[in-house]
Structure 1
Amino acid sequence: MRTYKAGIASLFFIVLLAACDKGFENLNKDPNAVTGDRFNPAYLLASAQLQTAKYEGEVNTSLYYGEGFVQHFASLSNVGIFNFHGDKYVYHKGNNEALWFASYEIVKLLQDIIQNTQEMAEYNNLLQMSRIWKTVVFHRLTDMYGDVPYSEAGLALYQHIYKPKYDAQKAIYEDMLAELEDATAKLNPDMPRYPVGDIVYNGDIQKWKKLGYSMMLRLGMRLSKVEPESARSWVQKAYNGGVFESNDDNLFIKGTDPSGTIEALSNADSWVLSVSTRDPGKISKTFFDFLKNHNDPRLKHTVAVYTDPTDVSTKNTDPALQKGLPNGLDRNTLEADPSYDPNAAGQEHQYSGINRDVYGKLDGPRMFITHGETALLLAEASIRGWVTGNPAEYYQAGVRSAMKNLSIYDASALISDTEINAYLAENPFVGVQDLQAALEQINTQYWAATFMNGYEAFANVRRSGYPKLIPVNYPDNETGGLFPRRLRYPENEAVLNTDHYKEAVARQGADNYITRLWWDKED
């Protein structure tokens, strides 16, 4: 009897195990895992795109450093409390490092896409888009710091590399250009386009191709001084491939929440800060005077005086009643400056700020690369003999598109063809007989066209040498009164990635604001 009962018990146990086993497979699945038919890496690209526009690096580094360096903005605030550190070349740990940490968070997302799609044919276009976007992220990073972790970046999960080496900027540029060439060529409109993961071009492969070649043009032109023959080759490839043709091709990302209630998706922490706080950035006298002296129609849409920064009704956009703030001043030194009017209301508020109705919108765009910039680069390339075409026509197209581009920020900023034609008649292309005069005119227009894009404005001023900005020499600044050439590496790199950090410094030069990058060759 005991044997019988034991047999029945054993049989019951086996049946029970068989029944339970039907649920073990589901129990052992992670409901949050992105595997099998639930895996859609397209959403990672959308997140990378949004974070490229949203993250603090776009504001704290591009606006507060880049825009100050190139004298688009100035600030009156004293060192301890102001944001526009680039105005006075002073060091602020958080904003100096913001782009670095933001970029590597984005690189992780892109590396996840690349690692999980490179052997899956159906994801071809998504893979190529991600490779192109990676150059968008990395070229800004290397242009601000120089040698940076590149080839081993984002591989902690996949190759257990926790202390990535710093690649030389020359090698980074060579690889970025090769990546652009290969990825752009492999984009295929007949394969899945993944519009759900592309908040920029909605999966339009032809626009992605134009982006790839326009980025190639930008990076190729970056080499114009250090490797002119290589620059020529890449510029010609980009031109032959097909670059931006109008503002419809522009790469920009808009905030999604005009009310600012969804902070994670809005621009609530961005340009608005430059005009709505007690210590705002003001339009630099350098930039203001350029626009005013050339009767530039962008002036009336770009700047405004707010005598009360909390009351938009105090806005005045009449250029005759406005003025730019000289760079390098604070409240202690302002009153000795000839521009200061002791009878005007307030100290900083007698100076022009950005027009909040145009640039202060929570759902406004972040510009990354535009047709205006591209046409101006072609103007320079054509006078160098690197591409065919009429330099004057490229110049006119660049100026026209740059002016029309303001309406993307707000429809009220639309500049008419009549106004643009009058400007071009008053400011014609100087011609190719005087190369330096032509380069100065083209690149000064590029400087105007990249207003509110501090990364690109700062990079092209260093590359071209134009406009010829007069450096400031504020007490205890980082450059000794010299024009800045880069930012410092994050402080913890010397501790957490010591060996590679030291290798980079030994190769590139001292970790300070005046060490030149590889492509930033001295004239």
Structure 2
Amino acid sequence: MKTLFSIIVTGSVLLLSACDSGFEELNKDPNAVTADRFNPVYLFTTGQYNTAKGDESNTLNYAEPFVQHMASLSNVGIFDFQGDKYVYHKGNNENLWKATYNAVAGSSKLIEDVIALSKDKPQYHNLYHMARIWKTVIYHRLTDMYGDVPYSEANQGYYKQIYKPKYDAQKDIYAHMLAELEDATAKLDAKQTLVGTADIIYQGDILKWKRFGYSMMLRLGMRLSKVDPAAAESWVKKAVAGGVFTSISDNVFIKGTDKAGTQEILTNGQSWILSVSGRSPGKISKTFFDYMKSHNDPRLKHTVAVYTDPTNVATKNTDPAVQKGMPNGLDRITLPGNPSYDPKAPGQEHQFSGVNRDVFAKLDGPRMFITYAEVQLMLAEAAVRGWVTGDAAQFYQNGVTGAMKMLQQYDASATISDAEIAAYLAANPFAGAANREKALEQINSEYWVATFLNGYEAYANVRRSGYPKLVPVNYPDNETGGTYPRRLRYPDDEPVLNADNYNASVARQGPDNYKTRVWWDKP
């Protein structure tokens, strides 16, 4: 015979059992954002945007003066061009690393989340593959600046509880990025759901994304030309067969959104650091200026638009005959002893030519990532090497033309006419594939000009190609002893926060300094 207690307990259990299924639904917040409700396309937009936003300290303070696009007199201060003298500044040295791996808004974290949330979901087919392509944009810049970096285990704290990721060898990173480009680009499908305006590059245009993917494959393939020419040739051929950029309309760039500068936008840092109103502004390097002037380059007058006293609008003068670039590696003490210095000119740095802020430093201006001009110049080199069919001279002319034409994407005032371009090409004819080294120097020097203010790519290509032949500076207490810098140092906290993996990378790659070469840059 059941007792009253047992009846009550049994009834209670049955009651709770009957109600249990309702509790689960009842306790769900209908307004909560969960993985099954959240559209990862929003993360993709932010991931693209954040790739371009906030890394000015790295590319402008280091990469641009490394390649002698820019120069500065300053040797101290927080926001100065330390790369001009190969000196170390903690914040500017590690800015790209921090911006990439930031746990909340880092570009790599956002794109890894897009990949995780869109994988194996038919409605996100194209988004998934576009994110894989964009991931290569993020990581190739990072590994080119530092060498071995966390890659396969990066951003896996939430997904796999990996909080101290290993540093992958750059050789393995490149192999994986190229394989990802091959697979992801081939699988993009215009018949599947499109991303639309959430893609701030191409508004979801699949054909353009395919050209983008194969153009990135071309860039990464060419990066291997010193360390593994056979692999480089193979990837270049795959890229060409897939179909690369066909005009400047394919150029990959991200623009700011706020012309007035009242919001935090991607180019605000670029604007102030290029501003000539500060104490230590960046100026056009004498190396860069003299190259353009000696070639009678129309871009010197129309787009660099340098002037003697840029802080005084009334004295603007864009005539190249009265302009001059600033030598790299000088400060306010050593400048007066340099032949370029004019003691009668107003001010020290302001007698040198500055960047046209109305073209290159607009708050709503573009940040270039990869362009038709670069693609054509890479094809010119590939043709000289015998890796692709086609006329190297025509590729070269297309590249120079594309580099001049793309400036109108910065501002209409920078438009170079067809007649000016034709005159430049006639005055500077292509050396021809028969004169291999001269041709390679000519192609890569034009690549250097075409990547002005895209310091990441300019610096990588100078190291890869050896052109133009830049004379290193030897400022006191510099990081290289007067040799050309080959990479940046890892962030100061890595030996503490991720000691084992940091030490393994240093043992494999070489000392953590500016002189150690990255894998593809081996002599």
Q: Does residue 174 of structure 1 match 2:171?
A: no
Q: Is the 8 A contact 1:260 1:267 kept in 2?
A: no
Instruction: Report how far residue 321 of structure 1 moved.
Output: 1.2
Q: Does residue 457 of structure 1 match 2:447?
A: no
Q: 1:182-193 to 2 correspondence within 5 Å?
A: 182-193=183-194
Q: Does residue 482 of structure 1 match 2:483?
A: yes
Calculate percent identity across the aligned residue pairs. 62
* Equivalent in the alignment of 1:99: 96
* Equivalent in the alignment of 1:270: 270
Q: Is the 8 A contact 2:308 2:323 kept in 1?
A: no
Bigger mean CA offset, 98-107 vs 442-451: 98-107
Instruction: Report how far residue 271 of structure 1 moved.
Output: 3.6
C-alpha distance in structure 1 between counterparts of 2:310 and 2:458, whole Å:
30
Q: 1:428-467 to 2 correspondence within 5 Å?
A: 428-467=429-468
Q: Alpha carbons of 1:454 and 1:26: their partners in 2 closer, same or farther (altered >3 Å)?
A: farther
Q: Alpha carbons of 1:505 and 1:424: their partners in 2 closer, same or farther (altered >3 Å)?
A: same
Amino acid aligned to 2:178: L
* Equivalent in the alignment of 1:4: none
Q: Does residue 87 of structure 1 match 2:88?
A: no
Q: Is the 8 A contact 1:488 1:512 kept in 2?
A: yes
C-alpha distance in structure 2 between counterparts of 1:70 and 1:317, whole Å:
24
Bigger mean CA offset, 25-34 vs 424-433: 25-34
Q: Alpha carbons of 1:26 and 1:77: their partners in 2 closer, same or farther (altered >3 Å)?
A: farther
* Equivalent in the alignment of 2:47: 48
Bigger mean CA offset, 24-33 vs 317-326: 24-33
Identify which of 275, 299, 304 aligns with 1:302. 304
C-alpha distance in structure 2 between counterparts of 1:63 and 1:207, whole Å:
29
Q: Is the 8 A contact 1:283 1:303 kept in 2?
A: no
Instruction: Report how far residue 18 of structure 1 moved.
Output: 10
Amino acid aligned to 1:299: L
CA deviation digits over 1:131-165, x for unaligned, max 9?
A: 00000000000000000111111111000000000
Q: Does residue 31 of structure 1 match 2:31?
A: yes
C-alpha distance in structure 1 between counterparts of 2:493 and 2:31, whole Å:
37
Amino acid aligned to 1:155: Q
Amino acid aligned to 1:290: Y
Q: Does residue 74 of structure 1 match 2:75?
A: no
Q: Is the 8 A contact 1:44 1:197 kept in 2?
A: no
Instruction: Report how far residue 314 of structure 1 moved.
Output: 3.5
CA deviation digits over 1:454-480, x for unaligned, max 9?
A: 000000000000000000000110000
Q: Is the 8 A contact 2:52 2:266 kept in 1?
A: no
C-alpha distance in structure 2 between counterparts of 1:198 and 1:335, whole Å:
51
Amino acid aligned to 1:52: T
Q: Secondary structure at the match of 1:353?
A: coil
C-alpha distance in structure 2 between counterparts of 1:433 and 1:79, whole Å:
48
Instruction: Report how far residue 28 of structure 1 moved.
Output: 3.4
Q: Alpha carbons of 1:476 and 1:26: their partners in 2 closer, same or farther (altered >3 Å)?
A: farther
Amino acid aligned to 1:174: A
Amino acid aligned to 1:304: V
Q: Is the 8 A contact 1:232 1:386 kept in 2?
A: yes
Q: Secondary structure at the match of 1:29?
A: coil
Q: Alpha carbons of 1:350 and 1:113: their partners in 2 closer, same or farther (altered >3 Å)?
A: same
Q: Alpha carbons of 1:178 and 1:21: their partners in 2 closer, same or farther (altered >3 Å)?
A: closer
Q: Secondary structure at the match of 2:521?
A: coil
Q: 1:143-292 to 2 correspondence within 5 Å?
A: 143-263=144-264, 265-276=265-276, 277-292=278-293
CA deviation digits over 1:299-344, x for unaligned, max 9?
A: 01113225252x4444221111110000000001111111111111
Instruction: Report how far residue 25 of structure 1 moved.
Output: 3.5
C-alpha distance in structure 1 between counterparts of 2:268 and 2:155, whole Å:
29
Amino acid aligned to 2:503: K
Q: Is the 8 A contact 2:267 2:361 kept in 1?
A: no
C-alpha distance in structure 2 between counterparts of 1:379 and 1:307, whole Å:
39
Instruction: Report how far residue 415 of structure 1 moved.
Output: 0.0
CA deviation digits over 1:201-238, x for unaligned, max 9?
A: 10000000000000000000000011000000000000
Q: Is the 8 A contact 2:49 2:266 kept in 1?
A: no
* Equivalent in the alignment of 2:57: 60
Amino acid aligned to 1:307: D
Amino acid aligned to 2:259: P
Q: Is the 8 A contact 1:258 1:266 kept in 2?
A: no
C-alpha distance in structure 1 between counterparts of 2:100 and 2:359, whole Å:
28
Bigger mean CA offset, 107-116 vs 74-83: 74-83
Bigger mean CA offset, 191-200 vs 138-147: 191-200
Q: Is the 8 A contact 1:255 1:267 kept in 2?
A: yes
Q: Is the 8 A contact 2:201 2:252 kept in 1?
A: yes
Instruction: Report how far residue 483 of structure 1 moved.
Output: 0.3
Q: Is the 8 A contact 1:79 1:90 kept in 2?
A: no
CA deviation digits over 1:332-391, x for unaligned, max 9?
A: 111111111111111100000101111121000000000000000000000111111000
Q: Secondary structure at the match of 1:326?
A: coil
Displacement over 4 Å in runs of 4+: 17-24
Unpaired runs of 5+ residues, structure 2, are 1-10
C-alpha distance in structure 2 between counterparts of 1:504 and 1:302, whole Å:
41
C-alpha distance in structure 1 between counterparts of 2:344 and 2:263, whole Å:
42
Q: Alpha carbons of 1:511 and 1:383: their partners in 2 closer, same or farther (altered >3 Å)?
A: same
Instruction: Report how far residue 33 of structure 1 moved.
Output: 1.8
C-alpha distance in structure 2 between counterparts of 1:486 and 1:35, whole Å:
39
Give the TM-score of the pair, scaled to structure 2. 0.94
Instruction: Report how far residue 24 of structure 1 moved.
Output: 7.4
Amino acid aligned to 2:83: G
* Equivalent residues, number: 511
C-alpha distance in structure 2 between counterparts of 1:394 and 1:73, whole Å:
28
Q: Is the 8 A contact 1:306 1:312 kept in 2?
A: no
CA deviation digits over 1:180-199, x for unaligned, max 9?
A: 00000110000011113201
C-alpha distance in structure 2 between counterparts of 1:99 and 1:82, whole Å:
15
C-alpha distance in structure 2 between counterparts of 1:150 and 1:21, whole Å:
42
